[in-house]
Structure 1
Amino acid sequence: MSSRDQGYVEGLYEDLMNEINEALDDLQKEANEFAEKMNDVMRWLPGPVCSGMVFAWKKFLESYNKVFDQTQKFLAQPGSPPALFRIGGYWDSYVGAPVSNVQAEATAFGMKADNAWTGTAARAYGDSAEAQGRALAGIKPMAEAVQDALKDLAWGLIAFWTAVVAAIVTFIAGMIVAAGLLASVLGAPAAPVDAGGTALTCLGLLTAAVAAALGFAEKVNGSLVGLQQQLSDNTGMVREGDQYVWPRLDNSGTWQIAQ
């Protein structure tokens, strides 16, 4: 991953975190202003109507508090897409690419030994280099798989937080509409009911965001199962008892320069 891409992800994530905090502040402000307006308008309404409005407002507050509680839980452990991208890049830069170069060199050295030396030592070295090349060849795909899994997780987190921001913004828009009902005596009784419906909609959107995130995590988990299979691949390794070890020369033997 290039430094430009890394900077883009960091900026995107920072913007999302700022947006969610600003949205929560705006939502709290809208709720407080709604409560003040409702108290003002209830002075002009009959007692039974006011009782119904208070009951609806209490129901609204239950959902409103749930929205804040859930969002705060998310914010307590927000994850770090930039870190996931960065670590994924490390797997490619510091593991996959260098090992790929070593694999190419090991194979080349084996061919040179086969062409330049003869004898049992030369054959042993050539066989060992070939086995080491096969073992090394499996490391780069594994490193790429780790990088892809980490990048997928990062984008999953970004998608989740985008959905959370959208849910809160929807809540704010609904509160503004509900507050507009308080402008008239006829519409005022329906205002807290409308606000409660908006709060429930927000909770539904948050639940959907969590479900989508869990579904995406299951998908990534499937790729990790494939990665586990790659880690269990012993191609090129030599079995010694119950373990697989790195291939090495079994017998030094003798050698001479090829004629």
Structure 2
Amino acid sequence: MFSGDQTEAKTNRVVGTYGYMSPEYASNGHFSVKSDAFSFAIINPSQSIRDGETLLISDGGSFELGFFSPGSSTNRYLGLWFTKSPQTVVWVANRDDPLSDRFGVLNITREGRLILYSRSSSIVWSTYYSRTAENPVAELLESGNLVVREANDDNPANFLWQSFDYPCDTMLPGMKLGINFVTRLESSVSSWKSSEDPARGEFSFLLDRNGYPQLVLKKGNKTVARAGSWNGIRFTAQTKSKPDSISTSEFVLNEKQGYFVFGNTSLGFPRLTLTPEAFTALI
């Protein structure tokens, strides 16, 4: 398309990769102020995610990170959803602290900390980091995992922070439920209060460490259901195995950690969702 020192060109057709195009450009070749939202999966300290202006999109185009309002609510949240199904939100950063307007901004600091600011520049939500980064970036992976890492290091073992360690109401393949006995980090799933309020509801799904660890469903502090112990193939409370579901997942227990790893991706993106009514849906 370009030759010599040429820096721009005019074409008679839409040019580019569709997974990274804004809808108005992909459909009719027209640009808007939101067109840049579809151009990157990574941000650095010089960039921001602004409500109504920009989105972070995974490399393969399966997931988007941006601002949304659930249902008829006017509150604004920073969340993650399926690109093909924006109403299917799988993770919310500020689930307990909504924004009241459309002026939210997400930044990554030079130390490697994600910070969500309100219109008044007050901190609404932020991440914890165990060590200071040298050249940090935030990236939305094709798995649906939002990570903070060094720009030149994409080894998962070296991630500075990742959303997969902090589930909301949904588990995606690769997410863990359990506890790290060294760092004391505990991961569990909790329902939304309602379909229009992603704040922590009364139901939770977690790894019970009393006795031999097993997955339990709780209402408040009361256990209402158990998955049974792990027999190496599935949890014993399951009557039969289902391919590519909870039964084919992994369970790990040692002196450093105990956790359950959900599913795999051979059927696309199966997910486990804990609804406000405590219905655990495998989709």
TM-score, reference length from structure 1: 0.17
Structure having the higher helix fraction is: 1
Structure having the higher strand fraction is: 2
Q: Which structure has the higher relative contact order (CA within 8 Å, separation 6+)?
A: 1
TM-score, reference length from structure 2: 0.16
Larger radius of gyration: 1
